[in-house]
Each structure stands twice: as C-alpha cells, then as structure tokens.
Chain A
Amino acid sequence: MGLRRWLGILPFALLVIIYLVGSHLRLTDNPDDKILPSLAHMASTIDRLAFTADPRSGEYVMLNDTIASLRRLVMGIGASAIVGLLLGLNMGLFRGARGLLLPMTTFISIVPPLAILPVLFIVFGVDELAKVMLIFIGTFPLITRDIYYFVEAIPREQITKALTLNASPSQVVYRIVLPQVMPRLINTIRLSLGGGWLFLIAAEAIASTDGLGYRIFLVRRYLAMDVIIPYVLWITFLGFAFDWLLQSVMRWRYRWYEG
C-alpha cells in the first residue's frame, strides 16, 4: 500500500481513537452513559436489530428498514432518471420542447424540495407516494438540465455526418445521441444520489412507520446512540455501494466515455 493510501486512512483512525478514548472516559465515569456507547454495546445492538428476529413479529428490523428505504430511493431516483432523460433529450433536440419546458424545469429546480414537503403530504397522502415524490422532485430537475446541456453540446457536425451516412432522423436519436447520453446519465445519477438520500431520510423522519431514517429519528428520543451510529454507518456504506456499482457499470459498458 502506498503512502497516499496510509495518509487517507489516518483521519479515520484518529476519529476512531478519539471516540474510543471519549467513550471509555465517559463510561468509567457513568456506566449508564448513552452518548458514546462502547463497541461491545453497539455490537450487541446490531446483533439484536440485524441478526435476531423480532420476538413479536418474527421480522428482522434492520433488514425491513433497509428494504423499505431502498425501495423508496430506487423508485424516486429511477423515476427521476427516466423523466430527466426523456425531458433532457427532447429539450436538447427540439427547440419547441426547450421553449416549453426549460423555464418550468429551472423554476422547479430552484424551489427547495423540503419546503414543499407538507404540500406533498397533503396531495399524495402520508404513504409511500409522497416520499417517492419528494425524492423525484428533489432530483429530476438537475438530471433533466444536465442531460439537456449535454445533448445541446453535441456538435452539429456529428448530426450532419450521421445524415451523410444514411441515418434517418430517428436513427440519429437512437444510434448517435442516446448511446452518448447514457454514460452521462449514469454520472448524473451518481451525483443525484446524495440529494436522494437527504430527501429520503427527511421524509422518513417526518411521516413513516419504517425505514432507516424513521428508525434513527424514532430512537433519538431515547438517546439511543447505540442504534444511531450503526445505522448512520450502514447508510454511508449503502451510499458507497451504490456509487461503486454505478462506477463499475461505467467501466464495463462505457469504456470510451472516460477518454
């Protein structure tokens, strides 16, 4: 491992050490302290939430929370990606679509999504739809505009060139433009996932009966840091895994894009 890798690990190690020392000091002072639980305590909590079925319902709490949250996130971001791709593509290709949609997309992108969360709850109810809609509204304007700018920047020469190679207008879209947009879309999704998580947890914190964000805000009342810290680390890991997954797709399918 190179020096750079070690340097990267250093802050993490420092953070863990500071935590452990702090936790040790507080727990020797007061064994019932909840703010900085010991590793053993957290391990037993993880075991209870993740690997032991709930005695009443027979379900695994952390697994259920994860599935519920990921479902909302994937639906919200997925809808954003599809709508953003379609709108962006049409805006980039057709002047009429641009005139019709660009001001509206810009407007929506500036409205703070969390400010209209109450509206979403009123309009879509407090069930799944409102949460998915929050993620959707929070992420699709950015994806739309990014795809639009990308399509618009494709040189006119490429279109002319395709026409001199016998391409029909629909072939220009499906064989020339769309394949070049796909890697860009994946990159935009990667950037949008951060916002997606933010909106997901916000929505779950306010009105939900399951989900990772719901759990964190539920146990906050009991100062249950032994639940909160593992959950936060788990969410971070999931975010990292998504990013890695999309990056792998890029490397596998779109080798030409990086160059």
Chain B
Amino acid sequence: MKFIVSSTYLLKQLQVLGGVINNSNTLPILDNFLFDLKQNSLTVSASDLETTMSSVIEVDSDSEGLIALPAKLLLDTLKTFPEQPLTFVVEDNNTVEISSNHGKYALAYADGAEFPKAIELTEPSSTTILGDVLATAINKTIFAAGNDDLRPVMSGVFFQFSPESLTFVSTDAHKLVKYQREDISASEVAEFIMPKKPLNLLKGILAGSESEVKIEYNESNAKFTFDNSELICRLIDGKYPNYEAVIPKENPNVLSISRSQFLSSVKRVSIFSNKTTHQIRLKVAGAELNISAEDVDYSNKAEERLSCAYQGDDMQIGFNSRFLVEMLNNLSSDDVTLEMSLPNRAGILTPADGLDEGEKVTMLVMPVMLNG
C-alpha cells in the first residue's frame, strides 16, 4: 500500500476528523485514524463509538489497503510541514514510512480490521438542508442545552421535523431556545435528540457552507452527508420534555429595548452581582428599565437605568445574569423584545428584527424567586 498526498490538504481534513477523537479512550484503537485506500480515493475515519465521521480524500495511488494510524502523532507531524507532497508507504515490519522533502518518518500502525465498523442505518427517513442553515440552527440552540448527566435528554438538541417546518429546541430547565424554519420542511414528521458533540463538529464544519446536507435518521441513529464527508452518530434515547406546555401564552407585559445597550448594561451590572448566583434584578416602570445587582458578602452594588419602550404593569423580576448575557449574545438583532407575565413565570426574549424569511427564534428564561 502506497499513496502520495498534499500535506496541507491532508492536514485540513484530519484536523476536522480529529475533533471526534476523545482525549482518553477505553479502546486504544480509537486513538487512531482509519485509512481505507482504494486506488485514488482514501477514506479516513475517526470514531468515539458514539460518533463516527469519515471523509474521502483524493490521493495519487494504485494500490489498496486498510490501516489505523495514531492520530496525535500524525497530526503533530503534519502541522509542522509547509505545503509539499508526502509519500506514505506501508512497510513489512508493521510501520508506515512517510517521506517528505525533509526526510523520513516511521510510524507503527494497527490493523485496520480492529477499528469499529460504522453503523449502517436501516430504513432511514431523510431530508436535505443547506449547510449554513443547519450550522445557524445549531449555533442558535446548542448553548442552551444542559450538562446534567442525570437528565441526558436535556443535554442534547431536539430536532423536530414536519412537512410544515423544521424546529430545533434546547433547554437545561432554566432557559430554553426554540429555533424554527418555516421555509424548509421534511417529507414526514420525525423527532429525535442529537447529542452535543457531533453538533459542535457540524457547526464548525458547516458554518458558511453553501452545500446541501443530507440528513438521514431512524430510531437510534442519524447520518449527515455533505461534500466528501459523512457523520454518523447515535441519538440520545428518551422522551424530550413537553416544552410547548411551559411557554406562557399570555404575556401582557412587553419590553422593547436596544439589544446592545441591554447586553452591555447587564454585563456591567452583573460584575457586581454574587459570584455564584449571578443574580440581577430588573425593575420596569413607565419607560424606564432599572437593572441592579448586589453582592452582600463584599458590599458590592450596582444600578443602571435604561430607557425602553414598555407596555404593561410595573414589575420587578430577578434573573441569573449569565442566562441573559448568553441569550443576548447569541442574538444579532438591533432590538429585542422581552415579554413577561408574572415575576415567577418565564420571560420570553425574541429578536425584533434581522431575521430571514420564515426564521423564528424564541428564547425563554426562568426568573429567580425574589422575596416580597
């Protein structure tokens, strides 16, 4: 087995795949990339058992072979090369010899047959979506997903496909984001929960991408195919909480405000809030929003006043400022609307402008229970 490939081209592909590999693996073979050579096309795969990703790379070769090469060693070496052709030759003594313009390097390889096989999806349903749209959907939702091992369903993003629209939801029980695209649809109704790790990979690869992504899915797995790559991952098993039921329907108190102003005020005031709870207090009366925070332990205190457009009763509500900052940071509109009903019910944050046709973002943030 022998092939010749451009060093930077290979590095670019391997770096993407490297994101799949965990730092510590129970199975040593998972520390490797699988190289599957078939004449001029080399398929490289990486896996952590939950997620498997592979890319097809064009190389110059006329042989075939299947080997597993240590990922870290290979990446560290490739990073140091300026653009040049590299020749990979499999030697008899279980090593691969790489020849560059500078010299020769030998790496021990493992038998490619030991590498876990990628899962084949049986009877999948499918839909296609533009790469950039998917990346945006992930970007808008993934930050709100939880980290609680006890509630695995909330640690992923909920994909809800229907003939009318595609909906992406994430929540950690304190905040919730619902991202809806009414301009795209699937052939049939389907729901599944995607784990965070493959989504983060996809987000990185697909940002700004103009190519189509084909999503295939069944009960337990999902497969994303795009350009020369595919990603197969196991879905999170379980029932996603009924999020629609917790979105308050009637919100008579509506606050409209400049997003950047609101964000910078919240950020500034929250520096003075308690370092553990990050609690801030919003007071709205008339056309004035008062944001305050206090850290009793250190006698730190801050208060800011902002002018806003407000319709509704005067009210006072407490929030964890980190949630607000995350949400406001994630939006890109000039103005935002915060709809509220009562101090112990969710606040609904929506962008007032800057959305594409058919795009809808709803962010929910639960308050803290203030005394009296």
Task: Please say whether chains A and B are actual partners in one complex.
Answer: no
Binding site for B on A (CB under 8 A): none
Binding site for A on B (CB under 8 A): none
